[in-house]
Structure 1
Amino acid sequence: MTKRVALARALALDLPILFLDEPTSGLDPIAAGDFDALIKTLQTTLGLTVFMVTHDLASLTTVCDRVAALADGGIGAIGPMRELLQSEHPWVRAYFHGKRSQMLQPHMR
């Protein structure tokens, strides 16, 4: 509920860009999915640009059209998810193709 209240306060400012820092952190998978769906709906209906920092791969693939993966003190890869999945950058490959991301692979394509 706290995250939704914070989101409502941000939306009250009626700005074209919404910044989210780890928006699903601390939420269970169902609540995180609901929050992602809410963000996607707001994106579509209000025409918002959402700038999101997250480690949650499910949120990343649900909400984001373009992704920038930070690696080695800079941007390791940037583009749609399908391009990041094909990145040759070692850290980006390890992040998106590592053990923990394997369960999300069908969802990320």
Structure 2
Amino acid sequence: MFKNPADIGRLLDGLDKAGLPELPEEVDLDAKDRLTGSEIRSLILGRELNGGGAWIDKGTSWVQQNFLCDAIPKVQTTCGAIFRNPAGTPERHNEYTAVFRFDRFEFSTVK
């Protein structure tokens, strides 16, 4: 767990310099559908989300490079990528896919 969000940035930079992939090999999503940091920020931060996964109701979320990072006190700190789901709909709550280290789920934003 990282107490300082800047530590995650240094870790991500180090992993990139070491040539490690940003995402697990089994991620089968199209890179063209991946959201940038600014897109994640405007889509998720301060918005209500609907869909699968355990959304944080206590903790902190922020954007680090092109990742959404979440820190849940005394539980974990993790970062994941967000992808558009071209076939998703608001009604099925699957317009986007979040890929974290140990979790993957679909969601939509509540308008």
Instruction: Give the structure-2-normalised TM-score.
Output: 0.30
If each structure's helix is expressed as a fraction of its own residues, which one has the higher value?
1
Asked which structure has the greater CA Rg, the reply is 1
Higher RCO (CA-CA < 8 Å; seq separation 6+): 2
